[in-house]
Copies of this chain bind each other. A is one copy, B any other.
């Protein structure tokens, strides 16, 4: 993960402390395009949606946006009509300050649920926030959207699109409450590629499905999860056409950026010390494999075994058995790194010591075979240890 980035043509970034967090840390961020731009977004699948999610969803239906105002320290979720008014007031202040139509400024919030958003504090901070906008301000933006994150999360990829060299820059926050269901966490992607709203939306949905929708920290889906992508087109050249080689390369770049951000989020799972890449193979379909992967990656017993560096393959198989997918344990096998610890549903004698040695690493793969079918899935997850409990039992105190 990079700490700073020179930026992407057509965008400026800002991050300041508005006093939302009692700590005085950065807590207000702004991403602004020079002009109205094609934009796409995916949002949380939670039925309880924060006010900023409702407003951003309605506004981005146009496929256009110019700026995103993000605060940390307060989710503005479960705050009723007052919360909606707060999101509208604060984004209106930004729109007026940068000279953009109000409908083109999207709100996003992250933090504690159910406390009123201090809208007056944010409005008062908008002039300073806008004054601080800079092409190379992505690092400050990234720090200002952090909550329990141990580090800011940025990733960038360059990609050749129709003769021009475009940049895709992504910025995300997330550590706990990370689990799929459409979007998860907050993430913002900007590019100078010349791509329309449809192309951007297709590339974003595909990339999210393969990255943010295939990872879990603790099985939670927040009220605020939002991923927004915007394209300035400033790199010039022909607009990326649907189905073209450039479209494929652009989608790949977007997937790489979200993949790097997702990996950083799992690594930063609250209290996590180990990242596991789980491969489920041999399922009857990809869908079945994904169901099994999701169940195993979400199992508290598996997560604590990983934390204890215990190659307890029985817990993995037992979790897989609860996924609602039919399979024969006698056709199953499990490898931790390159050590096969279970074959045909039973232990491989003497393999556990070697597997335990693999598990000392920060990151290792686990492959679970559940039959001979063609279906497979990949899933990223982390261990759950004492620090998770500490972080989440004492979050608000």
Task: Give residues in A with beta carbon < 8 Å to B.
Answer: 45-49, 75, 77-80, 82-83, 112-116, 176-177, 181, 218-223, 299-301, 304-305, 307-308, 310, 312-315, 317-323, 325-327, 329-330, 342, 344-347, 384-386, 388-390, 392-397
Is B47 a contact partner of A305 (Cβ separation < 8 A)?
no
Q: A220-B319, A223-B318 are in contact. List 15 more A-B contacts (CB 8 A).
A: A47-B323, A48-B317, A78-B317, A78-B345, A78-B347, A114-B317, A114-B346, A116-B347, A176-B301, A177-B301, A219-B300, A221-B321, A305-B393, A305-B395, A308-B394
Is A313 a contact partner of B114 (Cβ separation < 8 A)?
yes
A181-B322 contact in complex given A78-B329, A317-B113, C-beta closer than 8 Å: yes
The 6 closest A-B pairs by CB, nearest first: A113-B314, A308-B393, A48-B321, A304-B392, A46-B321, A114-B314
Can you list 8 A-B contacts (CB < 8 A)? A48-B345, A78-B329, A78-B347, A114-B346, A177-B301, A300-B388, A307-B389, A308-B395
Could you say which residues of chain B place their CB within 8 Å of the CB of A312?
Answer: 113, 395-396
Could you say which residues of chain B place their CB within 8 Å of the CB of A75?
Answer: 314
Could you say which residues of chain B place their CB within 8 Å of the CB of A345?
Answer: 48, 78, 80
- In the bound assembly, the distance between CA atoms of A185 and B391 in angstroms comes to 30
- For A343, the closest partner residue in chain B by CB is B80
Is B310 a contact partner of A393 (Cβ separation < 8 A)?
yes
Could you say which residues of chain B place their CB within 8 Å of the CB of A48?
Answer: 317-318, 320-321, 329, 345
Q: How far is the CB of A85 from chain B (nearest CB, A)?
A: 13
Is A392 a contact partner of B322 (Cβ separation < 8 A)?
no
Q: How far is the CB of A50 from chain B (nearest CB, A)?
A: 9
Could you say which residues of chain B place their CB within 8 Å of the CB of A384?
Answer: 300, 389
Q: How far is the CB of A34 from chain B (nearest CB, A)?
A: 36
**Residue among B78, B220, B393 making CB contact with A346, cutoff 8 Å:** B78
Q: How far is the CB of A175 from chain B (nearest CB, A)?
A: 12
Could you say which residues of chain B place their CB within 8 Å of the CB of A313?
Answer: 78, 114
Could you say which residues of chain B place their CB within 8 Å of the CB of A83?
Answer: 346
Could you say which residues of chain B place their CB within 8 Å of the CB of A321?
Answer: 46-49, 221, 223
**Residue among B218, B347, B385, B393 making CB contact with A115, cutoff 8 Å:** B347
Is B300 a contact partner of A393 (Cβ separation < 8 A)?
no
Could you say which residues of chain B place their CB within 8 Å of the CB of A322?
Answer: 45-47, 181, 220-221
Is A393 a contact partner of B304 (Cβ separation < 8 A)?
yes
- For A220, the closest partner residue in chain B by CB is B301
- In the bound assembly, the distance between CA atoms of A330 and B113 in angstroms comes to 15
Could you say which residues of chain B place their CB within 8 Å of the CB of A114?
Answer: 313-314, 317, 342, 346-347
Q: How far is the CB of A10 from chain B (nearest CB, A)?
A: 35
